[in-house]
Structure formats: C-alpha cells, structure tokens
Chains A and B, each alone.
Chain A
Amino acid sequence: MKKAVVTGSYSTKVGELEGATCMSLHTEAGLGALADAGLAVSEVDGLLCAYSFTEPHLMLASVFAEYVGMKPAYASAVSMGGVTACMLVMQAAALVEAGYCRHVLVVTGDNRLSGMRGNAVQALAEVGNQQYEQPYGMTIPAAYALVAQRYMSEFGVTSEQLAAIAVTMREHAVLNPKAHMKTPFTVDDVMNSRFIATPLHLLDCCLISDGGAAVVVSAADAAADLKKPRIDILGTGQGHTHEYIVAAPSLTDYGCKRSAADALGRAGLKPSDIDVVEIYDSFTITLLAELESMGFFERGEAGAAAAAGDLKIGGKLPCNTHGGLLSYGHSGAAGGMFHVVEAVEQLRGEADGRQVEGAELALVHGDGGILSAHCSVVLGRA
C-alpha cells in the first residue's frame, strides 16, 4: 500500500461567477473536498495554498486558515505559477509520507475573470523579465508563440495540427456541463480566429475564468473507511530548466522530460501504461511540446496524433477529458488543480458522460512560467 492517497476532491463552478471572491472560492472548494472525503475541518492538520492575483498576499495559507476558521499544524503557500497545483499535491504527499500530517487540504482558487476587469493579460505579462523581456512587449502568448514557431520549424508541426488540439479540448468540454466554454468549433474556426501572436490564434489560447478546486491528501492508514474508491499517489517528480524564455536552454525540450521520468519511475511505470492524461494546456503548443517531451509521442508526432483523434476520449491517449485550460477553464493555480480533480474523477469512474472506460492509471502534469517549471503526478485507482 502506498502511503499517500487522495481522499477528497472538489471543484466549484467555473466561468464568470457573480459575487465570487478569491477566499469564497477557496472556501467552497476546500470545504467541498473535505465533505467529499468525509472529514471535518478539525481533522485537517495540513493546509497548502497557492497564490492569488485578485487578493494577493504574502501568506495566503494563513489568510485562508483565518477566513475559514482552521488551525492547522502545518501550513504553507507556494507560488510557482501554473505548476503550483501539482507541486502542492507532491508536497502534501511528502508531508503525509514523512508523518508530519494525516490529512492535508490542498486548495486553490481565484476570481481572475470577474475580479481583474480585463487586466489579467497585462498582469501576466509582468512575469516577464523586467529588463530583458518586458521592454519588448513580450506577452505570455508571445513567449509560447516563440516556442511554437521554433517547434514548427524543427519538427514540421502545422497550425492545423495545433488547431486540432484546441478542437479536441472543446469536444471534451461539450461533454462536461461544468465547462466554461461549450460551443463546438472546427479546425477552420481556430485558423480563422484572430492572431494573438503568430502562429497562435485566439482559440489556441486558454481561457480566463473564475473558479476554485481542492483535493485532500491523506496518509493511507488514516483513510481506511472512505466513501469513495481510494486513489493512490504512485509517483511524483519535478523538472526545472529556466524561468525566462530568453534564458531557456532549448525551445523544444523542457523540464517535463525529467518530471515525467521521475514520477513514472517512482511509480514503476512507463508512458504506455497510462490510461488517461491531464496535462497543462495553457496554449495548444504547450500540450503538444509536453506530450512529446514527456515521451507519450515521438518528436513531431503529437500534432498528427491530435489531428487523427488520438487525444479524444476513446482514442489512444485520452487527454484533458474535462476540456482543459483551453475550454474547461483557467482560474490561476486552480487551473492546474482542475486537471488533478479530473484525474481523480476519471479514476473513481465519476466522470459522467466523459468517462474513459477502465481508467486505472492517470498522469497529471503542470507547467509554470514559459515551460519553465514542471511537476508530474501519477495517480492510480487502488
């Protein structure tokens, strides 16, 4: 028996949520995950939070603990961009495996759509290097576009193949009543949407949403009488190569190679063993580069595979079965946590209308910065 297990998970509605605040989303998600696990607030001895754009604070875990009335024995907040959710799950697993905690609540959320009055793009651009990137009008989409251009040049990836990834994510979202965007579109629709930064069109870019999500990570021996199927954390790993794209050692190879190899290695598994993947898809190129760098596809093959339908539910490697950041929603750190929650639901067999039949092993992956920081988590149904 593995020592760390996911015992509870929950995600709020996503989209434009009237009246939501960062802390109210944390509260709904956190209490929802505890209820799912059948745990009381008083039973939680570990609390891990991420960060917020709408209520930024140096000590977000303390802010949330105070807000909700929790007095954990261990609390910490991690700010690592889109990789944070997976990193928090890894940290929670380490805490219970080391014996410091029995039940760790991992909670994320932000009202990034309604709470930022359209300024999210500008705020995100400020993560670029102040001296060597920001003066040139680099946006986050522009940085990923630099990756896409290089990838297309080296490996023959086409805009149509990137568009096929967006179409697949939307097809999955159509199956998911909670998804932020559910209007179907085609490859031509993606190609005809306006350019944000060539070669990325509007529909190659993720959403900006309000939402929250949380999981409870417990020590296996503290999780004996669960209501739900036990989900084991089988292996985790990280990989870090740079922060700023101007300093990235490669535009085609990233830390996800190491994070996935470590997570799968610790689980005693290989990529072909995995039934379903939930992989960070801030842009279509993000998902393509990660799928290849992590070894799920050979170089230059993920685009053709997406166009052939391999990433669809029922395909060879069902990917982002909730619709991903591209169509389900992206609420800051909660964006990555939606992937975790979806993996848990798939492994429990709870993904009504979008269930991957027989899913027993899932890999969840987060990426922060410009493919800068990576964390992979392998989950399995016990």
Chain B
Amino acid sequence: MEKPVPRPNADSAPFWEGCAAHEFRFQRCNSCGKPQFYSRAVCAHCQATDLSWEVAAGEGTVHSVTTVHRGPSVAFKEDSPYQVALVDMDEGFRFMANVRGGEAEIGTPVRVIYEKRGDQTIPQVEIRG
C-alpha cells in the first residue's frame, strides 16, 4: 500500500497547485484580516467569504512534535521511526509535516521543503540552522 496522496478539491486546488510550484499558499480574510490554514470557502474566524490567497515565506517553528514508531500502514512502517510535527508558520497559521534533516523538538526553527507524492507535491519541513 502506497502512502496517501492528497486529493485536492475546489477548496484546496490553489494550495496544491502552489505546492507543485514550490509556493506555500494560504488564505487571508479580507474582512477580519486573519490568516487561515487549511483553505476553505469561508473565514473560520468571522464567516466572511471574501478571502485572498497569499504566499508564505516558508519559515516557521515547531509547536509540537512526536516520533512515530508504529505507522498506520506498511508504507510508513518502512520509514519508522519518523517525526510528525505541528509547525507554526511566521505568518500566523499552523500546518502538519514530517521533519527532514534531523530530529526536531518543540521550538526548533524549520523551513518548508517539497516532496513528490504520487501525482501531487506535498510540503514538508527541514530544520534550519
């Protein structure tokens, strides 16, 4: 069994198209000004539907991280152990990624990198010095 490949929909297609171009896109509400991740048809802060896409600089900090020893499927078991992190991006939103290039802990500074996954490109993070 292969690792899951994200299946974009109308809400998320611009994000995944951005990843393919190595561009981390996120939404900002034109009404309340807050950023949000993941992309959707409405601002989850104020319920406005007028949202703009912006591009993140690609740097953030690890909010929490775990080293997974038992993956969900054979595809991940071959990678075990691997790190799953929640990353707070400098623009003020959070996303999940695997950590590449070393072992992260809470507070570790990271930058976004991109990996091919099936017919998609997914964002990951690596530790920055």
Q: Which residues from chain A sit less than 8 Å from chain B, CB to CB?
A: 121-122, 125, 129-139, 141-142, 145-150, 153, 194-200, 245-247, 251
Q: Which of B37, B63, B86, B98 contacts A137 (CB 8 A)?
A: B98
Interface residues of B in 65-102 (CB under 8 A from A): 65-73, 76, 79, 81-82, 84, 86, 94-98
Instruction: Verify A129–B38 contact, CB threshold 8 A.
Output: yes
Which residue of chain A has its CB nearest to the CB of B69?
A195
Instruction: Verify A135–B66 contact, CB threshold 8 A.
Output: no
- With contacts A136-B96, A137-B76 taken as known, whether A197 is within 8 angstroms of B66 at the C-beta atoms is yes
Tell me how far the C-beta of B114 lies from the nearest C-beta in chain A, rounded to whole angstroms.
12
Contacts of A251 in B (CB 8 A): 63-64, 86
- Interface size (B, Cβ < 8 Å)? 35
B117 at the A interface (CB under 8 A): yes
Instruction: Verify A137–B66 contact, CB threshold 8 A.
Output: no
- With contacts A130-B7, A197-B68 taken as known, whether A150 is within 8 angstroms of B63 at the C-beta atoms is yes
Instruction: Verify A135–B122 contact, CB threshold 8 A.
Output: yes
Instruction: Verify A131–B12 contact, CB threshold 8 A.
Output: yes
Instruction: Verify B82–A132 contact, CB threshold 8 A.
Output: no
Q: Which of B72, B96, B122 contacts A139 (CB 8 A)?
A: B72
Tell me how far the C-beta of A312 lies from the nearest C-beta in chain B, rounded to whole angstroms.
29
Instruction: Verify A146–B86 contact, CB threshold 8 A.
Output: yes
Q: Using an 8 Å CB-CB cutoff, how does the interface string of B37-69 with A read, 1 for contact, 0 for none? A: 110000000000000000000000001111111
Which residue of chain B has its CB nearest to the CB of A124?
B72
Q: Which residues from chain B sit less than 8 Å from chain A, CB to CB?
A: 3-8, 12, 16, 37-38, 63-73, 76, 79, 81-82, 84, 86, 94-98, 106, 117, 122
Contacts of A131 in B (CB 8 A): 6-8, 12, 16, 38
C-alpha spacing A141/B81, complex, angstroms: 14
Contacts of B82 in A (CB 8 A): 137
Which residue of chain B has its CB nearest to the CB of A144?
B66
C-alpha spacing A61/B77, complex, angstroms: 37
C-alpha spacing A195/B79, complex, angstroms: 15
C-alpha spacing A133/B72, complex, angstroms: 12
- With contacts A135-B122, A197-B68, A246-B96 taken as known, whether A146 is within 8 angstroms of B3 at the C-beta atoms is no
Contacts of A146 in B (CB 8 A): 64-66, 84, 86
Contacts of B98 in A (CB 8 A): 136-137
- With contacts A131-B6, A146-B84, A251-B64 taken as known, whether A138 is within 8 angstroms of B96 at the C-beta atoms is yes
Instruction: Verify B63–A139 contact, CB threshold 8 A.
Output: no
Contacts of A200 in B (CB 8 A): 66
Contacts of B84 in A (CB 8 A): 136-138, 142, 146, 197
C-alpha spacing A197/B64, complex, angstroms: 12
Contacts of B71 in A (CB 8 A): 137, 139
Instruction: Verify B73–A135 contact, CB threshold 8 A.
Output: no
C-alpha spacing A317/B122, complex, angstroms: 47
